Each structure stands twice: as structure tokens, then as C-alpha cells.
Amino acid sequence: MGINMKTIEKSKLGAWYSSEEFEALYTYPEGNLGAEWTRDKTTFRVWAPTAEEVYVNLYSNGLISEKEPIERIAMRPYQNGVWTVIKNGDLHGTFYTYSVLVDGEEQEACDPYAKAVGVNGERAMVVDLSSTDPKGWDMDKSPFQNRNATDAVIYEAHIRDLTVHKESGIKNKGKFLGLTEEETVNGSGDITGLDYIADLGVTHIHLLPFFDYASVDESQEGEYNWGYDPENFFVPEGSYATDPYHGETRIREAKEMIAAFHQKGIGVIMDVVFNHVHNAEKFCFNNIVPGYFSRIDSDGVYSNGSICGNDTASERSMVREYIVQNVLYWAGEYHIDGFRFDLVGLLDIETINEIVERVHVVRPEVLFYGEGWAMPTNVTKAGVKMATQKNSYLTPDFAYFNDTVRNLLRGRNSDTGEKGYVNGGTGRADGLKSNLMGIPYWASSPEQVVNYASCHDDLTLYDKLQAAEPTADRAALLCYNRLAAGIVFAAAGIPFIQAGEELIRRKVNADGTLNSNSYDAGDDINAIAWDCLQSADCREMRDYYKGLIAFRKNHPSLRIGDIREIRDRFTFYDIQKGEAVICLIDCEGIEGESAKHLCMIFNPDAEEKEIFLPEGNWEIHVSGNKAGTEGLGEAHGSVTVSPVNCMFLVKR
Ligand code: CA
């Protein structure tokens, strides 16, 4: 092997990597790259088609400051650009790197397929993965079997935010293990953490990145970042482990957290960031095969649609293979139940469909969704289509965030003062109807639509409502908040909330300004303040969300995935004046549905509304500041819906 790189101009390197000729020679589809451990021997395999020589360096620890390897072993060319060597003996716990000679220059790099690493992910570690399994792991499985995507209720959270507050009652603050602790309470005895999430009734927790990211120094305690800066894709983040130095600890503790959620009946969704890496120059894959992982323009500069310095060239065969293998690995080894793709509009549809198909062969219940915004990027092949909202019909088992309903409900992020349907914006009733049916203009199926009013990005829901109307009192803002939540949980599609939205979460800076991007703002801004449960309106809002979740779970007619069936069963009514919308659902014959009809009335106007009901006796289940599966009263003939409120009624 050994391609004479000097014959290829740097500006043409990207095109050459993406050429049919290169891919025919150097695509290795065996799925066994990395260090394959057995008790007797370890097999190292690395894809390095442009290298003249490759070595594996063995070390006694993961600290890059300790430079002398125990041993440096030459690897031999195998096939399709892969180099390999076998080392006899039990290497579990031995650290390693690769050294590649490209164009006469030697580079030392971590293994892109490292399954374990030392502190700060500088060196890979050979690992016996079976030694990292918690007790009962082979019996652990997804609690979300044989369900549709629209049956999910997703709760988006950051591991540190959930556990770190002084009132969390959690011992392992900021750690994976903090989310395994049961019966944790705040100072006033309210449940927190894992038990709190289970009590809310959500089906899935979506955790912000917990693969190994670069922005937090794992040797220090207390540093904060959301983690959208990947370093080692196959390894959990070390700062969430009680010991970041010994590679097996973070693996075992991540698995313990996942098992703890599963035991509570909650699936775990991992936020994955394939669209860019922390630093394209330093990323190990790019050090082994110069610039291969990233899109490079014809002028030799990294494409930057991600606005994070580089874009991943998912359309290249061995980048695609890397991403596919990565998702298969987390779904298999870690029993992950769903994947949320950051800026998936920078990845191509072929990669996305291959991931979904291959994971669903073994785990049909795994959820997939992402941010399908269209973004400029320099794709390295012709005719490649990206996984955007607009192309959603080309990725039928992959869902997208519905920023259409988010903007409709409370105004765009880009316009702080803009109001939405819930807080006085007008002309939005028709948009609301299509979103209640789960088909914003870009979508054709509710199963591909993730409905939300807020997520970790931008202002919290309450802060956004306040920013749009600084003179509004708290009671008015809480009414807006409840109406937004009512719509998110009523709409066809997949409901999603940011952790703490149900606790009236805010992100207020020390100077009183609102924080719309708290990715590195630390615990003071980001932590879930568990002592908030001491206030009556916070408990009331939590109970309202809990009631909406229970109502949704109780009524399969809110979770229909087939748009044709929704068109048959949903009828909308306007009332003459104002923006109120009435949605009547014919529930007859829906499996598991106890209601014959559901009537949902959304009134964003400042006046109360008298609504005439279809004949029969109706039970009120959502009204005012209360929601749930218990009747709040009966109605027939007509009902009065208070200003800025929704009312859900059931006819048996
Ligand atoms: Ca890290």
C-alpha cells in the first residue's frame, strides 16, 4: 500500500477521496475496525489507505504526557486500505495509539474506533467489554417494544443539569450514577431525579451528548458544557464518570444509568453529533487519513455549514460506514433506544436510511429524529440529497423537529418580541389545524414530526413568553405556557419537552438578562433547581404536564400515525370571532380507546368562549389549570372555556 500523496494536489484531495475509483479500492465493509479483544490475543485493525507505514503503540496508561510506549509494533497491510496486527496475551486495560507515516510525515493518533479511552480521550484502551456489564445486563431490554413512534413522550435533559443542584438530594452530582439513584428528594421532600422523571410519565429520556466530547477537562471537577463537540464517538464522556482515567469505569457507569431508566420503564435516547467534530485538524480520523472525514472545498478550506468549523463528509463510503457502525454499536452494546441527530440536514439521506434500516433489523423499536434544517455545505459528490424537512419523504422512518409548530405557538427564536398563537399572535388558526393533524407543510406523516414548544436551544418557553410581553404578569404567562403545552400533547406526532419546561424553568443571567445559549454558562444558569417545587405554581405546572401526558397515553386517538386515518376522523370547527379552534375526533373502533369522541377546544383569545357541544354527555378532563384522566365535571349542550385556555372533553 502507500499512495504517493505528493502526486495529488491538496485542493483535489477531497474529490479524489470521493471518487468511484478510490471507493472501489478502499471501502472496507467488514465492521470490525478497532481493537478486538479476546483473553488470548487482541487484533488491531485500522483503515489507513494513504499510509506508507503504520504502527500500534502500547502504553501502560492514558496520559499523553507519558511518552514512552511499552512497545511499538509494525502493522501489515491487509485489504481495502486496512492495516492489521495481532498481539498475543490479555491486553484488557492496555492503552494504545496508532502512528501513521503519510507522505514521509509521522502522525500519532487515537483509534477512531476506540471503545474505551483514558482521561480526556487522548489514548485508546483495549477493553474486555463483558467486564463492563452491570448485573443483569444480558436481561436488560427496551421498555418500548411493539409501539409506534407516536406513542413516545420525550423528555430532553442534560445529565449534569438533572443531578447537580444542591437541592437534588442526589449523591453522585453531575454523573451517570446520579441518574441511577432512587428515592431522592429535595429539602421539602419532593421526589427528584430518576424517580421524578418516571413519575411524570414520559416514555423516553433524551440526553444531551454523552459520547466523549472535548470541551470539558475531565481531570477537573465542575466544568460545564452541553457537549456538542465530539472527540471519540464510540466512548462515553469521562466527566460523567466517577473515574475518567480507567477506561472501563465510564462504560460501566453509562450502562448502569441506562439500565436504571429501563427498570423504570423509560427508554434512553442519545443525542448524536455526526455533522461536525470538535477540531477537524486534530480529529484522530483526519490524522490517520488526512482530511478524509470532513468536507474540504476546492480551495482547501474546511466547509463550515455547521458553523462549528467543519462538516462531516457522510457521503464518503468510509465516513458513512463509520457513522453506521457507530449507531449500531450504541444500539447494541449500550441498549440505546433512540438517536437524536444534531443538524442532520448536513448528512445525506443514504447514510440516514442505511442507519435506520440496519438498526431496525435488530431493534425495530429504536426511534430516530433530528434537526432537519437546510444548511449550506460543500458536498463532495454529485446528486447527493440531504436529510432535511423538505426531503422528509425520502427518509420515511426518520422524524424531524417541528419548528413550524414551535414558531406558530410562541413566535420565532430569531425574533424575541414575536408572539404566537398562545400569546396574542393572530392569523394562526389554520396553521394550528395542520399541526394538530401532525402535518406541518413540509411533512406527510405524523410519525415523522416531533412537536415541541421549547428545547435546550434558545430561550426557555417561559422566558420566550416573557420576552415577547415584558409587561405581562406571571399568571398571564402561565396561561400561555399551559395552552402551548396543551397543544403539544394534543397534536398528532411525537411530543417533546425540554426538562424543566414543566417546572417553569428559566435561564436568567446574573445581570437579569435572559440566556438564549447556555451551552457553557455553568450550573447556576443550567441546573434544574429542584427547590422550585416548594412553590405552589411550580407544583401546579408539573401536575398539569403530568396530567396532559396521562391523558395522551390514555387516548390512542391522539397517537394515530396514519394521516389518512386522521383525515377521516378529525373535524375542525372555527367560531366566528377570534382565533379559537375546536377539534372533534371520532374515536369509534380505535383499539384501546375508551372514548367514542374527543372534543378539544383551544381558546387563545382574551375573552371566554361559549362553545356548543355535539349532543350527548361529555366529561371534562383538561380545563383551567388542571389536566388528567379523572373527570373534572360533566357538560352537555355547551361549555364555557376561559380566556387563554384549552379544554379537552371525552364522550364515552
Ligand atoms: Ca471528554
Q: What is the pLDDT of residues 357-372, one digit of tens each?
A: 999 999 999 999 999 9
Q: How many angstroms does the Cα of residue 118 sit away from the middle of ligand 1?
A: 9
Q: Report, as an integer, the average pLDDT of 6-19.
A: 82
Could you tell me which of 390, 386, 490 has the C-alpha nearest to residue 440? 390
Q: Is the pLDDT of residue 627 over 90?
A: yes
For residue 301, the 8-state DSSP code is: P
**Ramachandran bin of 464, using left for φ above 0, alpha for ψ from -120 to 50, beta for the remaining angles:** alpha
Could you tell me which of 244, 232, 225 has the C-alpha nearest to residue 277? 232
Q: How many angstroms does the Cα of residue 216 sit away from the middle of ligand 1?
A: 6
pLDDT digit string (tens) for 168-227? Answer: 999 999 999 999 999 999 999 999 999 999 999 999 999 999 999 999 999 999 999 999
Residues with catalytic annotation? 342, 371
Mean pLDDT, the chain, integer: 96
Buried b (16+ CB within 10 A) or exposed e, 276-311: bbbebeebbbbbbbbbbbbbbeeeeebbbbbebbbb
Q: What residues flank ion ligand 1 with Cβ within 5 A? A: 212, 238
What local confidence, expressed as pLDDT, does residue 7 receive? Answer: 66
pLDDT grade for 297, boundaries at 50, 70 and 90: confident
Q: How many angstroms does the Cα of residue 487 sit away from the middle of ligand 1?
A: 38
Q: How many angstroms does the Cα of residue 248 sit away from the middle of ligand 1?
A: 14
Q: How many angstroms does the Cα of residue 214 sit away from the middle of ligand 1?
A: 5
pLDDT grade for 628, boundaries at 50, 70 and 90: very high
What local confidence, expressed as pLDDT, does residue 172 receive? Answer: 98
Q: What is the pTM of this model?
A: 0.97
Q: What is the CA radius of gyration of the chain?
A: 26
SS (H, E, C) 232-296: EEEEECHHHCCCCCCHHHHHHHHHHHHHHHHHCCCEEEEEECCCCCCCCCCCHHHHHCCCCCECE
SS (H, E, C) 506-532: CCECCCCCECCCCCCCCHHHHCCCHHH
- Cβ–Cβ under 8 Å, residues 502 and 481: no
Q: How many angstroms does the Cα of residue 180 sit away from the middle of ligand 1?
A: 21
pLDDT digit string (tens) for 419-459? Answer: 999 999 999 999 999 999 999 999 999 999 999 999 999 99
What local confidence, expressed as pLDDT, does residue 198 receive? Answer: 98
Q: Report, as an integer, the average pLDDT of 37-63.
A: 97
- Cβ–Cβ under 8 Å, residues 428 and 437: no
Q: How many angstroms does the Cα of residue 240 sit away from the middle of ligand 1?
A: 9
- Cβ–Cβ under 8 Å, residues 15 and 257: no
Q: How many Å apart are CA 325 and CA 341, to the nearest integer?
A: 15
Q: How many angstroms does the Cα of residue 354 sit away from the middle of ligand 1?
A: 28
Q: How many angstroms does the Cα of residue 238 sit away from the middle of ligand 1?
A: 5
